[in-house]
Amino acid sequence: MKIVDAKVVVTSPGRNFVTLQVTTDDGVTGLGDATLNGRELAVVSYLRDHVAPLLIGRDPHRIEDAWQYLYRGAYWRRGPVTMAAIAAVDVALWDIKAKVAGLPLYQLLGGASRDRIRAYGHANGSSLPEIFDSVRALQERGYQAIRIQSGVPGLKSVYGVHTTTSVDGSAPDVLARPVVEDWDTAAYLRYIPRVFEAVRNEFGPDLPLLHDAHHRLSPIEAARLGKDLEPYDLFWLEDCTPAEDQEALRLVRQHTTTPLAIGEVFNTVFDYQTLIDDRLIDYVRSAVTHFGGVSPMKKLFDYAGQRGIKSAIHGPEDISPVGMAAALHLDLAVHNFGIQEYSGHTDLTNEVFRHAYTFDDGYLHPGEAPGIGVELDDELAAAHPYEPGYLPVNRLQDGSVHDW
Ligand code: EZ4
Ligand code: CO
């Protein structure tokens, strides 16, 4: 069996998605997600100009060899663009292998370790009543675990949530530049514990609650937040300190029993080495799409599992249904599954990417279709071409740039 075509499809059915479609001489196709939010076209070029030509003529069954060839062979390794491109190849080849076997991918990863996959959704609001309504709306959709993001008095944006209006109220100038948001760490640290106190009082002790600090805190600030949130029994505090600094979490860990999660912007296992070896975290949060695919994610979970650390694959709306499907096969198969982030997609996105996975009563399942279980509608994808778009940037009140 040989690869005869590797095509990059960019589509924007509400937001941009980058998809690699690999075709074999037997006419089998495999899909991989390579969406890098706000930097999509860099990955398109990497795949189209530098990877696709190397795939033609290769045996699609040699997945590990293809991975090592693209990772080690390029000399310039790691980084989000490279690893998103490699991820798309890896997932497309797993899709092909599982289709040829006539099995859903999870069967090739060891088979199901569980019957269903618990998901969490995103609630947010700029006031407590808005947050309560948002939590109730998620509960009505079935969600049984919920991330809470809140506005902070004095700040105009609800941080970490995708917005389309700048803090000065100007219309989004998506063609030219990102919207600007505002931030005040002291105000945030004073206010967030009050939010979780109110949510616990409203929804009781049983509902798993999560919170994402989006890398905005210093170690000592994160340590204080973790301690202040202990009475409200969080499922986790996510990305509390900057992603580059593994040692930062050692200080946080020494001060709080609030469980810690990190990893959505990590690219390789080396970003986790200290965190896993020294048990500084409780959940690894990488996306299949940004970590080089299913192959390295499986290795990461096996490594993390040796320290009792669980999986929690990144699954916001900027992971395409292709990336989400790949995640769900891993979730079903690995023993040390923790939870799956799941925002869902627009109806139009679900038409462009018809998928076998399901979401019922707060639980996901990848379905039983051979492969990863996603089919791309090329015509509908082409009818919704690329639209320039950025994540927001964040500035402190003195005008200096802060992490978003
Ligand atoms: O802001 O994926 O946990 N989920 C998140 C996401 C990220 C986006 C960035 O593109 O933090 O919503
Ligand atoms: Co996050």
Q: Whose CA is nearest to atom 12 of ligand 1?
A: 316
317 lines ligand 1 (CB under 6 A): no
Q: Ligand 1 centroid to 341 CA: how many Å?
A: 10
Q: Report, as an integer, the average pLDDT of 336-346.
A: 98
Q: Exposed, middle or buried, 331 (CB in 10 Å: 0-12/13-18/19+)?
A: buried
**What residues contact residue 306 under an 8 Å CB cut-off, 6+ apart?**
none
Q: Report, as an integer, the average pLDDT of 94-99.
A: 99
Taking only the tens place, the pLDDT of each residue in 199-224 is 999 999 999 999 999 999 999 999 99
Q: Ligand 2 centroid to 168 CA: how many Å?
A: 25
Check pLDDT > 80 for residue 307.
Answer: yes
Q: Report, as an integer, the average pLDDT of 350-379.
A: 98
**Nearest ligand to the C-alpha of residue 159?**
1
Q: Ligand 1 centroid to 122 CA: how many Å?
A: 10
Say what the pTM is.
0.96
Q: Ligand 2 centroid to 65 CA: how many Å?
A: 31
Q: What local confidence, expressed as pLDDT, does residue 162 receive? A: 63
Task: Kindly report the backbone phi and psi dihedral angles of residue 403, in degrees, each rounded to the nearest multiple of 5, phi listed first.
Answer: -55, 140
Instruction: Please identify every residue annotated as catalytic.
Output: 159, 214
Taking only the tens place, the pLDDT of each residue in 148-201 is 999 999 998 777 676 555 555 555 544 468 999 999 999 999 999 999 999 999
316 lines ligand 1 (CB under 6 A): yes
Average pLDDT, the chain: 96
Those residues whose beta carbon sits under 5 angstroms from the ion ligand 2 are 212, 264
Check pLDDT > 90 for residue 376.
Answer: yes
Check pLDDT > 80 for residue 313.
Answer: yes
Q: Report, as an integer, the average pLDDT of 321-325.
A: 99
Q: Report, as an integer, the average pLDDT of 344-369.
A: 98
Check pLDDT > 90 for residue 360.
Answer: yes
> Is the separation of the CB atoms in 308 and 344 below 8 Å?
no
What residues does 32 pair with on adjacent strands? Answer: 20
Q: What local confidence, expressed as pLDDT, does residue 400 receive? A: 97
Q: Note the Cα 78 to chain centre separation in Å.
A: 17
Q: What local confidence, expressed as pLDDT, does residue 67 receive? A: 98
Q: Report, as an integer, the average pLDDT of 242-250.
A: 97
Q: Whose CA is nearest to atom 6 of ligand 1?
A: 316
Check pLDDT > 60 for residue 393.
Answer: yes
Q: Report, as an integer, the average pLDDT of 77-90.
A: 98
Taking only the tens place, the pLDDT of each residue in 106-131 is 999 999 999 999 999 999 999 999 99
Q: Whose CA is nearest to atom 4 of ligand 1?
A: 316
**Domains assigned to the chain:** 3-104 (3.30.390.10), 108-369 (3.20.20.120)
Q: What percent of the chain has pLDDT over 70?
A: 96
Q: What local confidence, expressed as pLDDT, does residue 156 receive? A: 85
